[in-house]
Structure 1
Amino acid sequence: MLLIAGLGNPGPTYAKNRHNIGFMAVDAIARRWGFPAARSRFHAAVSEGAIDTPDGPVRTLILKPQGYYNESGRAVGEALKYLKIDPADLVVFYDEIDLAPGRFRMKAGGGAAGNNGVRSITAAVGPYFRRARLGTGHPGDKDLVHGHVLSDFHKAEMKWIEPLLSACADAAPLLAAGEDEKYQTEVMRLAPAEKLDPRKLARGE
C-alpha cells in the first residue's frame, strides 16, 4: 500500500497559501484517479483508492493532516503505524522555498532543510520517506520567509501552478510504481518550469 501525504494548514483561511501547495497536489491526484470524498481518520482527511500502473492498480491512501503544518507528523505517524506501512512507501508533497517557482524534485531521506512540517514527520517516522518537493521560490530575505509561505498565490502564478499540479496527477503511475526519478522527469516534461522571479510573483507581477 502507498501512503501519499500532502502538507498544508486546514481551513479556508489557508487554502490558497503557498504553504498549502502540498494539499493542492494530493487533491489533484485524488481527482485524477477518482478517489472518493475524504473522511476524517488519523487526525486527518483521508481518501482511499487506487492508482493504475502497468503492473496493476496500487492501493493508495491520500492523507491531509488536519492539525497545523508544523504538527503534520502526528497524523502521518498514526496512519503509518496503524496501517503497518514502511516509510519507504510514504510520499510527502510539500512546498520547497529553495526551489524556483514551478520546479519539482523528488528526494528520498535526508534532513528537513528548515521545513517544520518535514521535521515533524521525521520525528514521528524517521527520515527515510520519499519527498515530492514543489518549488515556490525564496522571497530573498530570511526575515520574509514566514510571510511569504503564509501568503496566497497570486492569480498570475496560476500559469505554472495548474500545469504542475496536473502533471503530478497524470504522472502518478510512476510514483505508485516506485519510479521516483522517472516520475520527476515526467512531471517536469509535462510542466516545464519557466525562469520566474519569486519576488515579482509574490507581488502579483
Structure 2
Amino acid sequence: MYLIVGLGNPGTQYENTRHNVGFEVIDLMGAKYKISISRIKFKGVYGEGNIKGEKVILLKPQTYMNASGESVGQISKFYKIPNEKIIIIYDDMSLDIGRIRIRAKGSAGGHNGIKNIIAHLSSEEFPRIKIGVGHPKGDWVNHVLGKFSIEEQEKLQKTYEAVLSTVETIIEDGIDAAMNKFNSFRV
C-alpha cells in the first residue's frame, strides 16, 4: 500500500495558489483513478483506491502546511505504511514553473511542511516529488500564497500530467526509475 500526500492549505482563499499544487495533483489523481477523496479522519481528507494494481491512499492534510506531519504521521501509523511507500507532493520555489524534481530522501530544504513531516516520521527518508512554482521576486510568503498567471497555469497542467506519470512509475518500477525518467522533465 502507498500513501500519496499532496501538501497545501485548506480553505477557498488558498485554492489555485502556488502553495497548493500538491492538493491539485491529489484532486487530479482522484478524478483519473476514480478515487473519492471524501473521508475525514487523521486530520485530513482522504480516499482509498488502486493505481497500477497497487492499493493507495490519497491524502490532503487539513492542518495547514506547517503542521502537515500531524496528518501524515497519524495515517501512516494507523495503516502501518513504511516511509519508502509514502510519496509527498509539494511546491518548490527553487524550481522554475514547468519543472519537477524527484528525490528518495533529503532535508526539508527550508519547506516547513516537509520539516514537520520529517519530525513526525522521525526520518528524512521518504520519496518526494517537488513541483516548481518559480522564484519569488519579492516576499516569499506573498509568492507562495499568490495565484498563477494564465500562461503559468498552462505549463502547470502539463507538469501535473508528468507528476501523475511519475507516481505510476514509482509504484511500478521504483523511485530510481522515476528519477531517471522525470528529473529532466521540462515544459
TM-score range, shorter chain: over 0.9
Q: What is the RMSD computed on CA atoms of the aligned residues? A: 1.7
Corresponding residue for 2:49? Answer: 49
Distance 2:183 2:29 in 1: 16
Q: Note the C-alpha offset of 1:188.
A: 6.7
Verify: 1:60 aligned to 2:53, yes or no: no
| 2:106 aligned to which of 82, 98, 110 | 110
| 1:159 aligned to which of 148, 154, 166 | 154
Contact 2:102 2:182 in 1 (8 A): no
Distance 2:171 2:30 in 1: 13
Verify: 1:19 aligned to 2:19, yes or no: yes
Corresponding residue for 1:147? Answer: 142
What letter corresponds to residue 82 of structure 1 in structure 2?
A: F
Verify: 1:193 aligned to 2:180, yes or no: no
TM-score, with length taken from structure 1? 0.84
Q: Secondary structure at the match of 1:49?
A: strand
Contact 2:169 2:175 in 1 (8 A): yes
The 1:178–1:85 alpha-carbon spacing in structure 2 relative to 1, beyond 3 Å, is: farther
Distance 2:24 2:147 in 1: 13
What letter corresponds to residue 175 of structure 1 in structure 2?
A: I
Corresponding residue for 2:126? Answer: 129
Contact 2:129 2:163 in 1 (8 A): no
- Structure showing greater radius of gyration is 1
Contact 2:4 2:58 in 1 (8 A): yes
Distance 2:61 2:84 in 1: 19
Q: Note the C-alpha offset of 1:171.
A: 4.5
- Structure 1: runs of 5 or more not aligned: 195-205
Q: Cα deviations across residues 90-139 of structure 1 (Å, max 9, x unaligned)?
A: 00000011111110111022110100000000000021111100011111
Q: Note the C-alpha offset of 1:175.
A: 2.0
Distance 1:25 1:49 in 2: 15
Across the two proteins, how many residue pairs are aligned to each other? 186
TM-score, with length taken from structure 2? 0.92
Q: Note the C-alpha offset of 1:184.
A: 4.3
Moved >3 Å (runs of 4+)? 184-189
What letter corresponds to residue 165 of structure 1 in structure 2?
A: Y
Distance 1:31 1:169 in 2: 11
Corresponding residue for 1:202? Answer: none
Distance 2:82 2:65 in 1: 22
